[in-house]
Amino acid sequence: MPKRTDDISGLPIISIEDLAVSYGKKNALVGITLPIWQGEILAIIGPSGCGKSTLIRAINRMTDLTDDCHVS
């Protein structure tokens, strides 16, 4: 896990490591690693269908509510 020297603890407040999300046999996200640091302003941007909403749903654990979704 990367460390920042300007953060008091040196560790991210949210850490996503090697996230994968699939719906049935279709991979939606593969190998996502994203440290989020205290005080950081983060924007998730990209074209339609690239996985922005899927990432947010996985962070919020909303994917737990669907039967065909697998998060690892």
Q: Where are the alpha helices (DSSP H) in the chain?
A: 52-59
For residue 1, name the pLDDT band (cuts at 50, 70, 90).
low
How much is the mean pLDDT over the chain? 83
> pLDDT tens-digit profile of 25-52?
888 899 999 998 888 888 999 999 999 9
The residues spanned by each domain of the chain are 14-71
Per-residue pLDDT at 44? 93
Per-residue pLDDT at 43? 94
Angle at 55 between CA 14 and CA 22, to 5 degrees: 125
